[in-house]
Every structure is written in C-alpha cells, then in structure tokens.
Structure 1
Amino acid sequence: MSVRKVPVVLSLLATLALLFGGWFIYQKTAIEEPIRTEVNQMTSAKLADLLVDKERIALNLTITKPDQFASEYARLLAAIKPISAGKQVEIHLTNQDPELKQIWSNGIFDITEAMDLHQYSRIPAILNKWKDANHLDLAASSMDDTNVYVYLQRGSKQYYTVLPRLSQQGNEVTIRD
C-alpha cells in the first residue's frame, strides 16, 4: 500500500490550523476581550498594552485619575482572577517618569521602614517631606486592605506605584516598647 503524500500533508496542515486557530480564538475571546472590557469600565485607568501567554497575563495601565485608582484596582484584580485560568497576573503602571522615579528610589527606605513596622500613618508625613524637599506639586497616598498606593506629580510628570501591605516572604518586623 502506498501512502499519498499530498493528502497526508494537507491533513496535517488542516489539523494544525484547527488546533492553533482554536487556541488563538479561545485566547482572544475567553481571556483578552473580557480583560479589555473590565479595564475599559475603569474610570481611573486606561489599558496601554495587554500580553497573554501560556503562563502569565501582563497588563500595562496608564493611570488617569490617581485619586480613584485605589478603589478600582481591587475590583480589577477580582474580575481578572477567574478569567486568568490560573495564569500569573502582572499589572504594570506606565506612569513612571524617570525624575520622579529617582525621587522615589532615594526615599524608598523611609516608606519601606514604615510599612515593615506597620506604621502606615507615617507615610503621608514622609510624602509631605518629599513634596517640600523635591518641589513636587502633589505627593499623595491611599491604602486599602492589601495595598498602599503612592502618587507623585511635578507638572505633567507622574509616578504611581502600588505596594503590597503584606510581605511576600512572611517576615515581619514589629516594634517592642
């Protein structure tokens, strides 16, 4: 019995096209579009970029209303979790001006210390010192159950970051009086 090469190759190509085409359509309709819809419902941020691969989902967000972002961030994470199908979700913020990032880097020790010691009420005072010392137009923070949100602004330059309140390593520092 001789095997005809053309039908075998065509069958293989059709099978591969169906397999990868189905995966591509699934990824677009079941993962990307619902995430885009969730982000588009936010009034405080816009989607700059979305990347979905086998192991992770990466979103790049541009914060448009910093004072409202903290309240919408937790809802966004909760909405994405069931869509992600166990993939790691990474949210990156594009409001990262290099000058303001340098100010952040120079003063991060004070913020880290306040967070590690669970003295979150010190953070606004630290930011006010930064504001005065670095001639910032705005240095603001807010907090929810899981994160601390910090926003710096000078003119049209912005820096926004989200800091998890609980250490990922489980190590805690406490004050003993």
Structure 2
Amino acid sequence: MTSIRWPIAVVSLVVSLFLLFGGYFAYQKFQIESPMEKAISQTSHIRDYSLQIQPEKITVRLMAKPSFSLQQDYIPLRRKLTDLADDRKLSLKLEDKAGGELKEAWNRMNFGVKEGIALQRYTQIPQAVSKEADTKGIRSHVMMDDRYLYIELRQGNQWLYRVLPLHKPASEVKDNG
C-alpha cells in the first residue's frame, strides 16, 4: 500500500513543477517579451536590438539607424517599455556610432553637464554643450523631462546619445561633511 503512494507523489510533484514553471515562462513570453519586441519593432529608425529579461530587471540594447532621434523615437519607446516592464527595473541602452573627435568633445562637455545636473542649474547645460559643439562643427540637441536629460550629438555620419538621470537614487553611504 505504501509503495503505491510514492510514485503518485513524485508524479504530482513533477506535474506541479511543470505547471508552475510553464505558467511563469508563458507569462513572461506572452505578457512581457512579445509586447516589448512588438513595441521595439514598431519604432522606426531601430536597426537591431537585444532583449534580456531577468526576474527583477529588463535590459534592452538598441542599435539605432542614423535617422534615430532621442525626442521622436527614444522618449516614446522608453515610456512604452516602462509600462510593459511592470515592476521590473528597465535598463535601456543606446549603441551609438561615435568617433574620436565626437567622444573627445563629449568628454570636454561632460563636466559642465554633470555640474549643471548636480547643482540643478539646468539652463547652463545647453550652453555647456553648444559651446564645445560649435567649436568642433558638431550639431547638438539637448532636451529634458522630469526624470532625464537627453543629449544628442551628430557630426557627419557619426552620432552620440546620452541619457542622464536628473535625480540620482539616495545612496546608503551618507556624506558627513
């Protein structure tokens, strides 16, 4: 009599685990992954993308076409993906095509941008960007919403995108000064 109960218990366990994990993976595929892929594929000016979904974080890497715009393409896409991510943290990374002169210009204007964010002097940021960009013949576009600062730099067939948070999360280490 006891020998019959063990196989039933093992089969019940296997079926329960199959249903539990199968349901989780089906939910992830149909409620998160497929809608995100659809939103990305419907966004014009995206050449390619990769999507990595983890239990607490979703990472999306976008490879943009030269006609990609932070204002017209990135911001609406970020909003859609944030809604689809539910409670998971969304990390959206843009791959840019920046050469040496464009990267050097960003490195020189980076200090003024970070200082403007840290001191909340947001009107100084476009000035810091355009001052450096104008001397090198770089087209620049600076935008801001309530959470991020968006900087787009273009020179010839090269481009560089930066999306910087305006409010850094509170650190566990406090400054005693």
Note the residue ranges of structure 1 that are not aligned, 5 or more in a row: 171-177
Q: 1:131 aligns with which of 119, 130, 133?
A: 133
Cα distance in 2 for residues equivalent to 1:11 and 1:98: 60
* Shift, 1:39, TM fit: 2.3
Structure-2 residue corresponding to 1:155: 156
3-state DSSP of counterpart to 2:86: coil
Q: CA 1:60–1:13 in 2, change beyond 3 Å: closer, same or farther?
A: same
**Partners of 1:39 and 1:47 within 8 A in 2:** no
Give RMSD over aligned pairs. Answer: 3.0
Deviations 1:129-166 (A, max 9, x none): 32245x35423222233322112233333210112233
Match in the other structure for 1:51: 52
Change (3 A) 1:87 1:74: same
Gaps of 5+ in 2: 172-177
Looking at structure 2, the residues matched to 126 and 111 of structure 1 have their Cα atoms a distance apart, in angstroms, of 7
**CA offset digits 1:80-135 (Å, max 9, x no partner):** 344323111111111164734454234311111223333333333322332245x3
Moved more, 9-18 or 153-162: 9-18
Count residues in correspondence.
168
Give the aligned partner of residue 174 of structure 2: none
The answer (yes or no) to whether the contact 1:143–1:149 under 8 Å persists in 2 is yes
When structure 1 is superposed on structure 2, of 145-154 and 98-107 the one drifting more is 98-107
TM-score, normalised relative to structure 2: 0.73
Q: Distance in 2 between matches of 1:162 and 1:112?
A: 12
Partner of 2:110: 108
Matched residue SS, 1:29: helix
Q: CA deviation at 1:66?
A: 4.3
Query: Residues 119, 82 of structure 1: CA spacing in aligned structure 2 closer, same or farther, 3 A cutoff?
Result: closer
Corresponding residue SS for 2:151 = strand
- The answer to whether 1:118 aligns with 2:120 is yes
Q: Percent of pairs identical after alignment?
A: 27
The 8 Å contact of residues 50 and 60 in structure 1, kept in 2 or not, is answered as yes
